[in-house]
Amino acid sequence: MNSKRNKKGDEVTSSSIFSFFNKIEKRRKFRAILIVLFLILLLCLESFLIVFLIKKQNNQHPTIEREYLVENIEMSRYQAAVEYIISCFDNETGGFTREPIRQFIDDNSPVEKPYIWSTWLSFGTLINLNETTKINTTLLVNWIEAKLNDNPDYYGPEDLLGVYKILSFLNETDRVSEQSWVNMIMDDYIEEGGFRSHKDGPAPARNTYFAYILFQELNELNQVNWTKATEYVLSWQKPSGYFSHPLIPSGENIGETVYAYSFLNISSQNHLINNTRLTEIISESFDLNYYLAYRLSIAYVLLDFALINGMSYLSLFTENEAMLQGIKQSQQNLHGNFPFEWKDESFGDIYDTCRAITIFSKNNKLDLLTENITIIHPPLSPFFEISETGSEFIVFLVSSVLGLQGIIVLVKKKKMKI
């Protein structure tokens, strides 16, 4: 009897022990599941934190869409210059900055805002080179329209003519009414007969030329008394035949001289031009022994003068080939841009690079830029391109794989203990 009770007691005890261990086993499995879920939660939080940090870093330079994965890229001189121009396009806003985004990153300086003048010069150069397909023109037009609406009285005739030319090329001039164009130009008109370079700025002779051209494009030349404008322009002429700039009235400025003569030419006032002295001035300005001849701005102005007045650039300047070779050799290996003065190591921005490439183009000498050059820091990387979303996905994927491997290791260790 006692043996049966003992046997039954043993069974009860065994059952209790089994139930106890079974409960412990279930608790361990439950705890293991909780641990796995907790680790997965931590993994997700880690991934989202990494993505957040990437976005925060990208927001500091919102115009960056390409990652600079390569250095010391070999490309043609022409391609390097084009890439430099394109790298100044702000994909966030639609305008062009004076310097490429990459340069601001390298210098740890804030990215500047795009400007009207750098935009029309850059895009105008891309039009001339047939490279406009690399730019989001819809974004560009929207940016121009917004800038003109926000600051209608700030831009001078030179800016406005450039913007008008861009919109005309894209068949978007109706974005701004004709009366608005007229109002913006006349906002720069001064009582003496000239035009300011911008709101409250000086009124150099060159802006009379640009105002005339734009009014001519709009068929609105009757808006201004051009006799009075001519008198104003001539008031800046020096006895030497050169013209001065309002900021340095006692000096002689080749740029002002060229555009003053060009204005007299396009407004059919050739009788006021001393062609003999004009030829001498051009020769003096293009003397390669003369310091100013090494400035791209001077070479560009003289090129502009030849084009405006229907002259041959090559016939005007006998040392043209030497100049082109000098500009070519001055191209800088850092970003592929051209310097302000091609005989020195001075830095050049988008203005100088556009002027240089235009000089080669208008002289039918782009073939001089076909040889390769090694760019230390390409302004853009045409070979490797990763979008922000792609970067985030890769980070998320890598962190997820590493996290899952960690979870598997922990689960295996847990099973071994059980």
For 323-378, how does the pLDDT look when each residue is reduced to its tens digit (9 = 90+)?
888 899 999 988 899 998 887 777 788 989 998 998 898 888 999 999 999 988 77
pLDDT attached to residue 384: 35
- Specify whether 147 is located in the same domain as 204: yes
Range of the domain at 205: 70-386
- Specify whether 255 is located in the same domain as 310: yes
Closest residue by Cα to residue 129 from 79, 74, 75: 79
CA distance 88 to 223: 36
- The two tokens of residue 48 are 């989202």
- Specify whether 194 is located in the same domain as 299: yes
Q: How many domains does the chain have?
A: 2
Closest residue by Cα to residue 89 from 135, 128, 145: 135
DSSP code of residue 110? P
- Specify whether 214 is located in the same domain as 255: yes
pLDDT attached to residue 287: 63
Q: Torsion-angle region of residue 130: left (phi > 0), alpha (psi -120 to 50) or beta? A: left
| Chain centre to alpha carbon of residue 11 | 86
- Specify whether 240 is located in the same domain as 347: yes
Q: Between the ranges 2-16, 294-308, 403-417, where is the mean pLDDT highest? A: 294-308
Alpha-carbon torsion, ordered 129, 64, 113, 348, to 10 deg:
-50
Task: Using the predicted structure, report yes or no on whether residue 109 has a pLDDT greater than 70.
Answer: no
Higher local confidence (pLDDT), 254 or 143: 143
Query: CB under 8 Å, gap of 24 or more: what pairs does 279-285 form?
Result: 280/241, 281/241, 281/242, 281/254, 281/257, 282/316, 282/317, 285/254
Tens digits of residue pLDDT in 269-309 = 888 888 788 878 877 776 655 545 567 777 777 777 777 77
| Chain centre to alpha carbon of residue 328 | 22
Higher local confidence (pLDDT), 229 or 105: 229
- Specify whether 82 is located in the same domain as 17: no
User: Comparing 37-46, 301-310, 356-365, 378-387, which segment has the lowest mean pLDDT?
Assistant: 378-387
Tell me, yes or no, whether 61 lies in a domain.
no
CA distance 24 to 41: 25
Band (pLDDT 50/70/90 cuts) for residue 50 is low
